[in-house]
Amino acid sequence: MANVVVVGAQWGDEGKGKIVDWLSERADVIARFQGGHNAGHTLVIDGNVFKLSLLPSGIVRGGKLSVIGNGVVLDPWALLSEIEKLRGQGVDINPDNLMVAENTPLILPVHGELDRAREGQTGVAKIGTTGRGIGPAYEDKVGRRTIRVADLADEATLDLRIGRLLGHHNALRAGLGLGPVDAVALKAQLMEVAPKVLPYAKPVWKVLHDARRAGKRILFEGAQGSLLDVDFGTYPYVTSSNVIAGQAATGVGLGPNAVGFVLGIVKAYTTRVGEGPFPTELFDADGERLGERGHEFGTVTGRKRRCGWFDAALVRQTCAISGINGIALTKLDVLDGFKTLKICVGYELDGQKLDYLPTAANLQARVTPIYEEMEGWSESTAGARSWADLPGAAIKYVRRIEELIQCPVAMLSTSPERDDTILVTDPFAD
């Protein structure tokens, strides 16, 4: 039975929430495999808007199992708050339809404080984090001093974990001019939240292994975008986890053979939130128009997104790194009414042409995009559900993108509504 991995193929905000929701109707299990509550997925279902950060998008669909895998870093207070918010919107959430991997690392208040203190340092280049502690939590995981979900069940283990954690953090805090963490107060906070979180804790690796053996379909849901990957993104302006498709297996505890179809979500233009290089960024009326028409504000932070033309060189790169089988092209309707459209086909650097973005930060900052112009269209594509509903120029634009990124369009999204989707290739097909 085919399983599908969904990854963002740009800098995030590509519309993964809608696509995952659309696919979740055909899946039995929806699993988050990386990131934290810095993710922002907006779903529009029958006019109702659901905004998710930690919970898998499948949670709003009845009869599905939603899983938070070990590749995620979990703020337990944020999780409980999101659960209560969705329950207030009529969504049923319980330990039968939501599971959290027992070996998932926790984000603690100390992580958010450290994150914000670092970003606030004068004379230090900002990364542009959300300040929610995601990066410091991943640091503690790698440094083998994290507190994991399973640790909440045993007070003696918790004491050991807190001691090791604060031995590191209090030294860091002193260097930043912050006072030491009160270990007793931190333990009390964790003991208070433990009975609320532990009912969701399960050996997710085993649950998913059994689901595969039973022929269940698994949808792996990624957060952020491939250009924010800690290894292959525009480092250091990246997130602190691996975002690419290869993380789907290790982020939940399955082998690489569990992955079937890799679907990359790609916006019909390009956006970015926060700091870092952005070769096709626009600072003119076209950029403002893209932002206004696309409602380009971060779901989590509310920050205005930087907007630019479609960068085929970058998407071709991410398609190769994630082994993407097909893309879901979103927000095509935002381009309605543009007389002329531009697509970046490569870069120029010191008189040389490149067909990829170089790794070195100083080179990334100096590249200039090489554009190819295409005729726009005046007709509306909003709500189109078949190729016949699209203007000829819009079809040419989509086909040219396929050629340039060397990857076919599997799905085409023409509005936030889940049914306004043109299916070309079924990712779940065997």
As annotated, the active-site residues are: 13, 41
How far apart, in whole angstroms, are the C-alpha atoms of residue 252 and residue 261? Answer: 17
CA distances from 383 to 206, 320, 331, 336 (A): 41, 30, 10, 12
389 contacts 398 by C-beta, under 8 angstroms: no
What is the Cα–Cα distance from 63 to 75, expressed in whole angstroms? 26
147: number of Cβ within 10 Å: 23
User: For the chain, what is the radius of gyration of the CA atoms?
Assistant: 22
Give the residue among 408, 410, 279 at the shortest CA–CA distance from 345. 279
**Exposure class string for 163-174: b at 16+ Cβ within 10 A, else e:** ebbbeebeeebe
DSSP letter assigned to residue 148: B
143 — phi, psi (to 5°)?
-80, 0
Query: CA–CA separation, 55 vs 80, rounded Å?
Result: 10
C-alpha to C-alpha distances, 24 to 59, 122, 425, nearest whole angstrom: 9, 45, 16
Nearest to 173 by CA among 227, 248, 118: 118
Residue 165, C-beta contacts closer than 8 angstroms, at least 6 positions apart: 108, 110, 140, 145, 146, 147
Q: Are 310 and 344 in contact (CB under 8 A)?
A: yes
- Cα distance from N-terminal residue to C-terminal residue, the chain: 6
Give the β-pairing of 201-202 and 48-52: unpaired
What's 216's DSSP letter?
-
Mapped onto helix, strand or coil, the DSSP state of residue 174 is: helix
**The two structure tokens encoding residue 312:** 């085929």
DSSP annotation of 88 reads: H
Cβ contact 405:423 at 8 Å: no
Residue in 75, 171, 52 with CA at minimum distance from that of residue 132 = 75
